[in-house]
Amino acid sequence: MTRRYDPERRGRIIDAAIRVVGAKGIAGLSHRSVAAEADVPLGSTTYHFASLDELLIAALRRSNENFAEVMRECEALTDPAADLAGELAGLLGEYFSGGRGRAELEYELYLAALRRPALRPVAAEWTDGTAELLSRRTDPATARALIALMDGICLQVLLTGGEYDEAYAREMLGRVAG
């Protein structure tokens, strides 16, 4: 809003919340744990975010922006000559290459919308935004199905503790893309 003594404070609290969720999961997220991680007093977190849901909304939105940037950087996605399925499968490969940590964190925030209606609009923003990005290469319905399949593949890896198989992902994404 207007000026603040510490204009960065709100943002630093969001960053701290993301680190806390990454380290301890949403179950470990509390006003106090965030305050400690951000090195601000307890009252400061409750002032900027009246409820934990508000904080989660901000964290999910930032997480979405991070991923969206990764996809925008992938120029090949807009190149009509490139193999769309292969590009997407490669993207997921990079996504998992840095360990499960990042994927776990971002999916945990995303999946939190299941039980928190307040998060659903933000989750929908991400789905719609990504679908629009992919719509430059296919029709909207196919774009949504590609996202669904990517989500499902990631979940199988994350939930069962398996390994990501890029060739398999490429094959199946290719079938959907047609």
Binding residues (CB under 7 A) for DNA: these are 1-6, 9, 28-33, 40-44, 46-48, 50-52
Q: Is 176 in the site for a second copy (CB under 8 A)?
A: yes
- The secondary structure of residue 115, as a DSSP letter, is T
Query: Please, what's the b/e burial string for 64-73 (b: 16 or more CB within 10 A of its CB; e: otherwise)?
Result: beebeeeeee
Q: How far is the CB of 144 from a second copy (least distance, A)?
A: 7
Helix, strand, coil percentages for the chain (3-state, nearest 5):
80, 0, 20
| Residue 55 C-beta: closest distance to a second copy, Å | 15
Which H or E run includes 163? none
> Minimum Å distance from CB 155 to a second copy?
6
Give the binding range for a second copy (CB under 8 A) out of 40-48, 74-82, 84-92, 140-148. Answer: 140-148
Do residues 13 and 46 lie in contact, with contact meaning Cβ atoms separated by under 8 Å? Answer: no
Task: With H, G, I as helix, E, B as strand and everything else as coil, classify residue 128.
Answer: helix
Residue 99 binding target from DNA, a second copy, none, CB below 5 to 8 Å by type = none
Give the separation between CA 84 and CA 144, rounded to whole angstroms: 14
User: Out of 42, 70, 118, 155, which residue is the one contacting a second copy (CB under 8 A)?
Assistant: 155
Please report the sign of the dihedral spanned by the C-alpha atoms of residue 136, residue 139, residue 142, residue 147. positive
For a second copy, the binding residues (CB under 8 A) are: 25-27, 104, 107-108, 110-111, 113-115, 117, 120, 123-124, 127, 141-142, 144-145, 147-153, 155-156, 158-162, 168, 171-172, 175-176, 178
